[in-house]
Structure 1
Amino acid sequence: MSRLNLGTGDALTTMVASAAANQAGAALGARAFPAIGPAGVVAVRQFVAAAVLLPIARPDLRRMTWAQWWPALLLGVVFATMNISLYTAVDRIGLGLAVTLEFLGPLAVALCGSRTPIDLVCAAVAGIGVYVLVLPGSSTDLVGLGLGLLAAACWASYILLNRLVGARLPGLQGPAVGTSVAAVLYLPVAIVLLAQGRFTWVGLAYALGAGVLCSVVPYAADVVALRRVPPRFFGLLQSVHPVWAALAGAVILGQIPAAHVWAGMAVVVGTNAAAVAVAGKRAVLAARNPRPVPAT
Structure 2
Amino acid sequence: MQQSAPSSSSYLAVLLVLCAEVLIYCSASWAKHLFPVVGAEGVTTYRLFFSAAVLALVSRPWQKPIPRDEWRPHLLFGVGLGGMFLFSYAAIRYVPLGISVGVQMLGPLVIALAASRRQRDFAWVGLAAAGIWLLLRPDAVGQVDMRGVALAGAAAGCWAMYIWFGKAACARDCCAALALAMFTGGVATLPLSLVTVGGTLLESSSLLFGLLLALSSAAVPCLLEMQALRRITPKVYGTLMSLAPAVAALMGCFWLDEQLSAGQWGGIASVVAASAGMTLAAE
Deviations 1:6-34 (A, max 9, x none): 76665444322211111111111111111
Task: Output aligned runs, 1:82-161, within 5 Å.
Answer: 82-135=84-137, 139-161=143-165
Q: Counterpart of 2:121 in 1: which secondary structure?
A: helix
Would you say the 8 A contact 2:38–2:200 is kept in 1?
A: no
Q: Report the residue type matching 1:208 in the other structure.
A: L
Would you say the 8 A contact 1:160–1:231 is kept in 2?
A: no
Q: Report the residue type matching 1:236 in the other structure.
A: T
Would you say the 8 A contact 1:130–1:268 is kept in 2?
A: yes
* Alpha-carbon separation, structure 2, partners of 1:107 and 1:232: 14
Q: Greater Rg, structure 1 or structure 2?
A: 1
Task: Output aligned runs, 1:1-296, within 5 Å.
Answer: 1=3, 11-60=13-62, 63-135=65-137, 139-169=143-173, 172-192=175-195, 195=198, 197=200, 203-222=206-225, 233-279=236-282, 283=283
Flag the 1:11–1:163 CA change in 2: closer, same or farther, 3 A: farther
Would you say the 8 A contact 1:109–1:231 is kept in 2?
A: no
* Alpha-carbon separation, structure 1, partners of 2:30 and 2:107: 23
Flag the 1:105–1:233 CA change in 2: closer, same or farther, 3 A: farther
Would you say the 8 A contact 1:7–1:228 is kept in 2?
A: yes
Unaligned stretches of 5+ in structure 2? none
Q: Report the residue type matching 1:48 in the other structure.
A: F
User: How many residues matched?
Assistant: 279
Q: Counterpart of 1:63 in 2: which secondary structure?
A: coil
Unaligned stretches of 5+ in structure 1? 284-296
* Alpha-carbon separation, structure 2, partners of 1:235 and 1:67: 30
1:117 CA displacement: 4.0
* Alpha-carbon separation, structure 2, partners of 1:50 and 1:22: 16
Q: Counterpart of 1:243 in 2: which secondary structure?
A: helix
* Alpha-carbon separation, structure 1, partners of 2:229 and 2:70: 17
1:153 CA displacement: 2.4
Q: TM-score, normalization: structure 1? A: 0.81
* Alpha-carbon separation, structure 1, partners of 2:200 and 2:107: 36
1:141 CA displacement: 2.5
1:249 CA displacement: 0.8
Q: Report the residue type matching 2:99 in the other structure.
A: L
Would you say the 8 A contact 2:59–2:175 is kept in 1?
A: yes
Flag the 1:93–1:175 CA change in 2: closer, same or farther, 3 A: same
1:190 CA displacement: 4.6
Deviations 1:142-163 (A, max 9, x none): 2321211221222233334434
* Alpha-carbon separation, structure 1, partners of 2:221 and 2:167: 14
* Alpha-carbon separation, structure 2, partners of 1:253 and 1:10: 29
Q: TM-score, normalization: structure 2? A: 0.84
1:251 CA displacement: 1.4
* Alpha-carbon separation, structure 2, partners of 1:41 and 1:48: 11
* Alpha-carbon separation, structure 1, partners of 2:56 and 2:107: 28
Would you say the 8 A contact 2:137–2:143 is kept in 1?
A: no
* Alpha-carbon separation, structure 1, partners of 2:253 and 2:203: 25
Flag the 1:149–1:63 CA change in 2: closer, same or farther, 3 A: same
Deviations 1:218-248 (A, max 9, x none): 3334456567767655432212211111111
